[in-house]
Amino acid sequence: MKTKKILGALGLAAALAAGNAWAAMEIAPPPPPPIKIGGFLQSWLVAGNAAPSTVVGKQYKLSADLLRHFRVRFQADPIPGVQVIMIPELTAGAFTLLDGYATLDTNQVFLGESTPGELTLTVGQFKTPFGLNRMYTPPQLTGVEYSHATGRVFGSTSFWDAGLMATYKGKLFRFDAATVKGLGPNQFAGPFNLSTNQDYCARLEIPLMDGQLNVGGSYYYGKHFTTPGAQGFTIPRHWFGAFFKLKGLPKTYEVEAEILSRNVEDLSVGEMFGVSAMASFWLTGSLQPFLIYEYAENRLTWTAATGRMGGGIHWFPVMGGPVRLTLEMVGESFGLHAASPSWLSNGKTVLQTQVVF
């Protein structure tokens, strides 16, 4: 009898221990979501001249060897329908945060659906939606730089700002609408202020011909920054843009063009006008030549107009691999003849090495 009592007590203790272990397993927190990491590196070897090569004493010489871009992308998906993105960048002169935002799928987060919907919300610091060229990442660009015309018309080469954006992406079109501070990236201390530092922008893109042709338009209103933290205008301006992109079958050809303008608040005067056009085609499975034409016109000071035109070639040593070498040669012109290829003055050649990971 005593032995039976002992065995019964041991069995009860074992059952309780197993139950507690099972309960502990049930209430244990789920493992943290994996962090997805990617990015790219671009290094430049630059040669150029500061004046026309025909001027006595001027030579076309090596002018820079630098790390142009080094970006790392971190993505976490804490729950279905929520993505947290962070992209810091190391450049030749700075280390800065570009993207730092969260996207929320309204179907999954607010309606409890199991599948993603067509409407998402983005909060944090992100690239403001406008045009075509500035929406690319550097590895997606036709050339080695963002559009010169876009930077001139906006007065800044940075496209990031903090705010709130709603995106609808359906089969027929994509529409982004955002409100941002207008102060540029990494200006976290300054709150929204409806009277002094809040800008608005929207972008519409429509795919046609089974996605081979994309057309769209953009609008921006506000005091867009020139340098981060400094508003470019005391009185708000209007920016308008239109673009298209036509592409053939994979590894055949791509053509894109964009126009944009800046107007005063009452729309009575157009201050700036810009246009850019780019085309590329595949010569072989690893060689992709391209052409570039860009022009920015200051309608208040005609002599301040600028133009860039030229071309280059991409080479993929391993077909479909992560390494790409680009040789680009462009000429620059200024003033009344900025749009004419026969009046090019400055020249620049860039040899870019790109590795995507």
Tens of pLDDT, residue by residue over 167-216, are 999 999 999 999 999 999 988 776 656 556 689 999 999 999 999 999 99
Question: Residue 7 and residue 27: Cα distance in Å, rounded?
Answer: 30
Supply the pLDDT for residue 61: 53
Please provide the distance, in angstroms rounded to a whole number, between the alpha carbons at the two ends of the chain: 71
Supply the pLDDT for residue 322: 94
Supply the pLDDT for residue 22: 37
**Three-state DSSP class for residue 18:** helix
Supply the pLDDT for residue 121: 98
Supply the pLDDT for residue 345: 74
Below-70 pLDDT ranges, the chain? 1-32, 49-65, 92-93, 190-197, 336-337, 339, 341-342
Q: How remote is the C-alpha of 196 from its chain's centroid?
A: 26
Supply the pLDDT for residue 64: 63
Question: Residue 21 and residue 25: Cα distance in Å, rounded?
Answer: 6
Work out the mean pLDDT of the chain and round it to a whole number.
85
Supply the pLDDT for residue 196: 60
Strands 306-315 and 287-298: antiparallel
* Structural domains of the chain in order of their starting residue, each with its CATH number: 30-356 (2.40.160.10)
On whether the CB atoms of residues 205 and 216 are closer than 8 A, the answer is yes
Q: What is the pTM (predicted TM-score) of this model?
A: 0.84
On whether the CB atoms of residues 61 and 45 are closer than 8 A, the answer is no
Question: Residue 348 and residue 47: Cα distance in Å, rounded?
Answer: 6
Supply the pLDDT for residue 21: 43
Supply the pLDDT for residue 227: 86
Question: Residue 151 and residue 52: Cα distance in Å, rounded?
Answer: 24
